Amino acid sequence: MAFAGLNDADVKAALDGCAAADSFDYKKFFKACGLASKSADDVKKAFATIDQDNSGFIEEEELKLFLQNFSASARALTDKETKAFLAAGDSDGDGKIGVDGEGYLHKLRGFKYKKNI
């Protein structure tokens, strides 16, 4: 399945790279599947897909099933992986990842982001 314009072979390789429990690293996964190099619009489309309830936020339960958005047969993230992933993207400490401008995009893709004050 093509997800956010990603190459199927790259997605499969990324999924294979984190098939074992507690082996998921979001930065490595984003780079391996090609999501790290996608445009902000592509990443926002991916966000909308992961946001299953269309709340405008990715909550912990949605994040736990993150890999299954790329392949229905992929495993769920462990609690440890989910909490680490959530902490990386939760910019305001509310326990969910929101569409808060472009900060979350850069943060999750592994880039430093500075807001202009």
Please report, for the chain, the start and end positions of each structural domain, with discontinuous segments joined by +: 8-109
* pTM for the predicted model, two decimal places: 0.82
Tell me the per-residue pLDDT of 64-83, one tens digit each, with 9 for 90 and over.
999 999 999 999 999 999 99
C-beta separation of 77 from 7 below 8 A: no
Instruction: Quote the DSSP letter at residue 69.
Output: G
Mean pLDDT is lowest, of 8-12, 16-20, 24-28, 108-112, for 108-112
C-beta separation of 68 from 15 below 8 A: no
Tell me the per-residue pLDDT of 16-55, one tens digit each, with 9 for 90 and over.
999 999 999 999 999 999 988 888 788 788 888 899 999 9
Number of C-beta neighbours around residue 41 at 10 A:
11
Q: What is the pLDDT of residue 4?
A: 63
Q: Domain spanning 8-109 has what CATH number?
A: 1.10.238.10
